[in-house]
Amino acid sequence: MPVNVAINGYGTIGKRVADAVMKQPDMKLVGVAKTSPNYEAFIAHRKGIKIYVPQQSIKKFDEVGIPVAGTIEDLIKAADIIVDATPNGVGAQYKLIYQQLQKNAIFQGGEKAEIADASFSALCNYNEALGKKYIRVVSCNTTALLRTICAINKVSKVEKVRATIVRRAADQKEVKKGPINSLVPDPALVPSHHAKDVNSVIRNLDIVTMAVIAPTTLMHMHFINITLRDRVEKKDALSVLENTPRIVLVSSKYGAEATAELVEVARDLRRDRNDIPEVMVFSDSVYVKDNEVMFMYAVHQESIVVPENIDAIRASMRLMSAEDSIRITNESLGILKGYLI
Ligand X SMILES: NC(=O)c1ccc[n+]([C@@H]2O[C@H](COP(=O)([O-])OP(=O)(O)OC[C@H]3O[C@@H](n4cnc5c(N)ncnc54)[C@H](O)[C@@H]3O)[C@@H](O)[C@H]2O)c1
Active site residues: 140
* 274 is a site residue for a copy of itself (CB under 8 A): yes
157 or 196: CB nearest ligand X: 196
246 is in an annotated binding site: no
35 assigned ligand-binding residue: no
| Separation of alpha carbons 227 and 208, rounded Å | 12
| CA-to-CA dists, residue 96 to 90, 102, 104, 114, 326, angstroms | 11, 10, 12, 14, 30
d(C-alpha 123, C-alpha 253), whole Å: 29
- Please select the residue that binds a copy of itself; options are 90, 92, 130, 265, rule is CB under 8 A: 265
Q: Which of 68, 72, 78 is nearest to 44 (CA)?
A: 68
Q: Any binding-site annotation on 110?
A: yes
Amino acid at 150: C
Other CB atoms within 10 Å distance of the CB of residue 116: 24
Q: Of these, 93, 100, 182, 239, which contacts a copy of itself (CB under 8 A)?
A: 182
46 labelled ligand-binding: no
Query: Which range binds a copy of itself by CB under 8 A, 20-28, 92-100, 122-130, 294-302?
Result: 294-302
Calpha distance 271→269 (Å, rounded): 5
Pick one of 59, 87, 183, 327: the residue that binds a copy of itself (CB under 8 A).
183
Q: Are 76 and 53 in contact (CB under 8 A)?
A: no
Site mask for ligand X (CB under 6 A), range 272-301, x = bound? -----------------------------x
Provide the angle, in degrees to the nearest 10, between the axes of the packed helices 12-22 and 39-46: 10
Q: Which amino acid is at 112?
A: K
Strand order in the sheet with 27-33: 70-71, 51-53, 27-33, 3-8, 81-84, 104-107, 134-137, 118-120
The kind and range of the H/E element at 264 are helix 259-268
How many other CB atoms are found less than 10 A from the CB of residue 112? 14
14 binds, among ligand X, a copy of itself, none (CB under 5 to 8 A by kind): ligand X
44 CB contacts (<8 Å, ≥6 apart)? 10, 15, 18, 32, 34, 51
| Cβ-based nearer residue to a copy of itself, 92 or 336 | 336
Q: Applying CB under 8 A, what is the total number of residues that bind a copy of itself?
A: 78
Is 194 marked as a binding-site residue? yes
Type of residue found at 6: A
Task: Look at residue 101 and give the partner it binds from a copy of itself, ligand X, none, a contact being a CB closer than 5 to 8 Å depending on partner kind.
Answer: none
**Residue 10 engages ligand X in binding (rule: CB under 6 A):** yes
Is 45 one of the annotated binding-site residues? no
Report the sign of the C-alpha dihedral through residues 312, 313, 315, 320, in that order: negative
Spatial CA neighbour of 12 closest among 130, 152, 172: 172
**Residue 287 interface partner, choices ligand X, a copy of itself, none, CB cut-off 5-8 Å depending on type:** a copy of itself
Instruction: Classify residue 274 by its DSSP letter.
Output: G
Round to whole Å and give the CA distance between 108 and 91. Answer: 8
Please check if 270 is assigned to a binding site: no
Mark the segment that binds ligand X (CB under 6 A) among 22-30, 83-91, 153-161, 333-341.
83-91
Q: Which of 114, 230, 264, 324 binds a copy of itself (CB under 8 A)?
A: 264
4 is in an annotated binding site: no
Residue 117 contacts which entry, ligand X, a copy of itself, none (Cβ below 5-8 A, type-dependent):
none
- Please identify which residue in 112, 273, 336, 337 interacts with a copy of itself, judged by CB under 8 A: 273
Q: Judged by CB under 6 A, does residue 49 bind ligand X?
A: no
In the list a copy of itself, ligand X, none, the entry touching 133 (Cβ below 5 to 8 angstroms by class) is: none
From the list ligand X, a copy of itself, none, which binds 11 (C-beta under 5 to 8 Å, kind-based)? ligand X
Query: Considering only residues 21, 32, 105, 166, which one is a binding residue for a copy of itself as defined by CB under 8 A?
Result: 166
Q: Half-sphere exposure of residue 308, counting CA atoms within 13 Å on the CB side?
A: 35
Residues contributing to the annotated binding site for D-glyceraldehyde 3-phosphate: 139-141, 194-195
Residues contributing to the annotated binding site: 12-13, 110, 139-141, 168, 194-195, 301
- Residues in the site for ligand X, rule: CB under 6 A? 8-14, 33-36, 85-88, 90, 108-111, 139-140, 171, 301-302, 305
